[in-house]
Structure 1
């Protein structure tokens, strides 16, 4: 027997809040980079450093996977640890993001880079711990979790749009010209405190999911099913396997693919992920900043909004067409080529002082996201 609607809504809300903590920290840092880059001694190189840091942080999932495989390490304790680390790192980032120290005679944002590594470690590790934990609950709550995961990019983007971006303003004539920096609506510190609050809500929701009686009742392993329920669940599982091997190839959901088709799919996935998560973020400042701080700000924040919206749309318009998949990948590659060309031609790309240039670069970043 299911929970009353009001009680089920509580579990849905907690699942959603847990999902927001999955990538909210790094997504928030990406959308705040236009303001951080202006103050950090690394300047335009900072997005490249962040990309490398995120890749290094993938050691976290690898270590957890090996520990879980050979040491029987459970995900619950790890989730407590990574969420607490995320809260602490965001809080420290709010107060020390602008601190610098001299390394090899050059000023470096050592505190910022170190804290970004811990945040990336938190988010990367969440990918291999949050989902196994949510599988303990009834399947309907997994959908709610994914909604929260989408909000982890959407909410920071909306807040960053409300924050605005500082824009250089020139005063005076000739050699007496001076540049002032118009402050955004609220500071970088306030934005990082917002991220701290989001991580805190995610940690609190996880604690409640573990201990609230109403949440415990919704765990599949602790829910009593009748024989009819178990028979129905077994039938559904048998009719809809996640992946089975047959004579024609392999089956994902209702789509059957041959081995060459599977290779084609995975190659495209690897290529698209390399572009969207590695190459393009690393050159973001070089491709966008020449068109102005506003263009850079819009590219970063709207990209954070475009990704969850595209995922949301994909849930209602699913397609398994390999031709469509290849066409979209080709279109994305062409757009990525344009972005890379603008980065290579930086700091003086074409249409630099034109509104058309701003529209093209911002639109390109949204398409790639």
Structure 2
């Protein structure tokens, strides 16, 4: 039963961000087809943040009307909407209509908003639902959440989306001198995109299938007798807050209320599986503030700031560099989750160091985007490799921080995980609001065709 629950929790986790991760890894193809081109990532980023109305509504309901809508009902609804939106996107993604006199991808943006609404809402519903189970299943859920990026990336690698080559084109021109007209030839390098191994239609249909499988896994997860037995043992009271947490037998350490400082509670009973029970740890208010600060900062970088400029940092090195950075960085997420599963560390010092390292890689990626269309080592194979590696380590290091902060907060209370999701979305929103005007209004970043670049060697 435990193995089956691990499997269902993992499959359930794959539906948390599969749809939006699918959009990101398909961008190397979409930027060549849709009229927004290099601006497309920043549009998607701001659309995702507008969809924060979903988790905001759920958080407010959780705070002021607890029990009005069950997490189970909300999860059924959002996953079903995600599957339907992916299905419609398969057929309507290329539809455009004029807005302010220029063509825009209205159907794509509308359905992307639906997918963002689903995935953002999962941040404040999926994790609190998993808090009903034993802690070992939360880590398995994070592995599944990582796979929500890995599987679409694997499909995109098989698709070969956005691969291009530079071709020397000869153009015939007419040269007029006085009364004489003569033909001349002009040589020009142009970008020629290679056909994908399968279409965008098939790609989005596969995403829809992933969402349906997630829905089926959740259906069975809620109907395993052992799961609901664990739920009754582990579910925290709905009126628990971060400042007044009660001890729940068998559910790990809790903060005590009313004292000047947290005291240690009884350790949880032993838990066979991937991990032992949560260690006997109590966190001060300052440490809680530090944890939530990490959550906000890491998510502002990974979900708001850096995704907006990935095209600018990678495309000057060629479409292959963009394709590999988009797909391999998505694969770094589940790898980091797997490492966190077998080598967990609740050391706040280590999480702080990893956050600084990830920020450093992000700073390099941002610097290359600012230098676009002529970044460092542009004509060197080392430059191509470094930008891909930098994106992979940026995603991997900060993904580990995300997982471990989630595990830490899981050991504290149900409400702690709800606020984890809320702070996660707040950080993402802040990053997106900073970047959107820089990219789309002030044109701070410059794009160029890789094959026709005129940069010094």
In the superposition, the TM-score normalised over structure 1's length comes to: 0.85
Which residue of the other structure, out of 335, 346, 361, is the alignment partner of 2:387? 361
Aligned to 2:322: 296
- Report the counterpart of residue 218 of structure 2 in structure 1: 206
8 Å CA contact 2:140–2:341 kept in 1: the answer is no
CA distance in 1, matches of 2:353, 2:131: 34
- Where do 1:129-168 residues align within 5 Å? 129-137=125-133, 141-165=137-161, 166-168=163-165
In 1, Cα distance between the equivalents of 2:347 and 2:138? 26
Return the alpha-carbon distance in structure 1 between the equivalents of residues 285 and 124 of structure 2.
27
Q: 1:356 to 1:134 in 2, by over 3 A?
A: same
What residue in structure 2 maps to residue 39 of structure 1? 33
Q: Rg: which structure is higher?
A: 2
Q: How many Å apart are 1:346 and its aligned residue?
A: 0.7
Give the distance between the partners of 1:28 and 1:250, measured in 2 at CA: 45
Cα offsets for 1:194-236 (capped at 9, x unmatched): 10100111122233344x5xx1353127889xxxxxxxx9654
Q: How far apart are the structure 2 equivalents of 1:356 and 1:155?
A: 28
Residues 218 and 260 of structure 1: CA distance in aligned 2, closer, same or farther (over 3 Å): closer
Q: Give the 3 Å change call, closer, same or farther, for CA 332–16 of structure 1 in structure 2.
A: closer
* Residues 295-316 of structure 1 deviation map (CA, whole Å, 9 limit, x = unaligned): 0111111111101211221233
Measure, in 1, the Cα distance between the counterparts of 2:98 and 2:206. 29
How many Å separate the matches in 1 of 2:74 and 2:249?
34
Q: Whole-Å Cα distance in 1 between the matches of residues 283 and 76 of structure 2?
A: 40
Question: Could you tell me which of 41, 65, 90 is aligned with 2:59?
Answer: 65
- Give the structure 2 partner of residue 219 of structure 1: 228
- Per-residue Cα deviation, 1:63-91 (whole angstroms, up to 9, x for no partner): 12223444411122222211111111101
Match of residue 98, structure 1, among 74, 94, 99: 94
For residue 203 of structure 2, the aligned residue among 191, 209, 228 is 191
Change beyond 3 A, Cα 1:250–1:47: farther
Kindly report which structure 2 residues correspond to 1:101-116, keeping only aligned pairs within 5 A, or say none: 101-116=97-112
- Equivalenced residue count is 350
Change (3 A) 1:258 1:179: closer
Task: Output one character per residue of 1:236-258: Cα deviation in whole Å (capped at 9) or x when no partner.
Answer: 43xx3144477555879545555
Give the conservation status (yes or no) of the 8 Å contact 1:44–1:286. Answer: yes
Extract unaligned runs of 5+ from structure 2: 172-185, 234-246, 265-277, 396-457
Pairwise CA RMSD: 2.7
Kept after mapping to 1: 8 A contact 2:91/2:201? yes
- Whole-Å separation in 2 of the counterparts to 1:358 and 1:85: 39
TM-score computed with the length of structure 2 as normaliser:
0.70
- In structure 1, stretches of 5+ residues that fail to align are 225-232
Which secondary structure does the structure 2 equivalent of 1:283 belong to? helix
